[in-house]
Amino acid sequence: MKPLLAVVTGLLLTCATLRAGQTIQVAAAVSLRESFVEIAKQYENDTGDRAELTFGSSGQLAAQIKSGAPIDVFVSAANAQVEELSKANLIDDTTRRTIAGNELVLVAPRDSKNAPTGFAQLAADSVQRIAVGEPRTVPAGQYAQQVLRALDLNEKVRDRLIYGANVRQVLDYVIRGEVSAGIVYKTDAIDAGEKVRVMATADPKWHEPIVYPAAVIRSSARRDVSKRFLDYLGSDKAMSILQAHGFTPASPASPTSPTSR
């Protein structure tokens, strides 16, 4: 019995070691960068598995997945990109869930003397350049466009808009003082600290709900590990990290519903 028990014990230890060494590739919206770096470290400490992170605009990441990039998990800053991949049969729809929410804010350079005090002031003559995300690929830009339309500002400021390839580029334009103002997520402004000034927060009625949906890619060779990572994103530890960076809890009312963007 002793040799058999030793063999069984050895096999169990070997399996545990093999599982602990598994690594998945996670593509996430760039606005999640700081929080996900922390979550990935905590995840590895707690499980032994690793999540290697790639960040970018949600539209760019979705395009890479369509082109066959070896991604296991995708976390977008809007439902549109996940829905697009779903229609192309590229994600496992049973794994779809919303992990967090966010808010949209108007920010200005730290030392600006004529910063707009609110969204309505973006049409003022003193506001010469406004940074927003490229609406075709950047959810933050899509939300910003909705705000401008809701306030009847779209045509008034059209010639002043400077487009960023992702929301962090928009933030950089503001930090460097290259624009009069920018529209970014609340979480980006928090991470920027004193480098920018938050002038106003957009009324949620002006734009569609800001959500971060996640899903496992259908072609993933590590679906079980990927699903465990998604479960971890819904844990109290992960949510506490997200909230520390300014994200809001996921709304149970709209975990997977697509948007019209």
Nearest to 174 by CA among 233, 238, 234, 108: 108
- pLDDT for the residue numbered 114: 87
- For the chain, domain boundaries: 2-101+211-244, 104-206
- pLDDT for the residue numbered 251: 66
CA distance 149 to 58: 22
Same fold? 2-101+211-244, 104-206: yes
- Tens digit of each residue's pLDDT (9 = 90 or more) over 196-232: 999 999 999 999 999 999 999 999 999 999 999 999 9
Q: Taking 80 as the threshold, does the pLDDT of residue 258 lie above it?
A: no
Beta-bridged to residue 222, according to DSSP, are: none
Pairwise pLDDT comparison (238 vs 114), residue with the higher score:
238
To 10 degrees, what angle do helices 236-244 and 223-233 make? 60
Cβ distance 174 to 106 under 8 Å?
Answer: no
- pLDDT for the residue numbered 21: 77
Q: How confident is the model at residue 254 (pLDDT cuts 50, 70, 90)?
A: very low
Is 0.75 topped by the overall pTM? yes
The SS3 of residue 124 is coil
Pairwise pLDDT comparison (11 vs 156), residue with the higher score:
156
Q: Report H helices in 53-166.
A: 58-66, 79-87, 139-150, 154-157
Q: Taking 90 as the threshold, does the pLDDT of residue 250 lie above it?
A: no
CA distance 241 to 201: 22
* Order of strands across the sheet that contains 50-56: 50-56, 23-29, 73-75, 211-217, 91-101
Q: 2-101+211-244, what's its fold?
A: D-Maltodextrin-Binding Protein; domain 2 (3.40.190)
Conformational region of residue 246, where left means phi above 0, alpha means psi within -120 to 50, and beta covers everything else: left
Q: How confident is the model at residue 10 (pLDDT cuts 50, 70, 90)?
A: low
Q: What is the largest CA-CA distance in the chain?
A: 87
- Tens digit of each residue's pLDDT (9 = 90 or more) over 186-195: 999 999 999 9
CA distance 102 to 114: 27
CA distance 205 to 192: 26
- Tens digit of each residue's pLDDT (9 = 90 or more) over 20-71: 579 999 999 999 999 999 999 999 999 999 999 999 999 999 999 999 999 9
Cβ distance 238 to 85 under 8 Å?
Answer: no
**Domain 104-206 sits in which CATH superfamily?**
Periplasmic binding protein-like II (3.40.190.10)
What is the percentage of the chain residues whose pLDDT exceeds 90? 87
Q: How confident is the model at residue 3 (pLDDT cuts 50, 70, 90)?
A: low
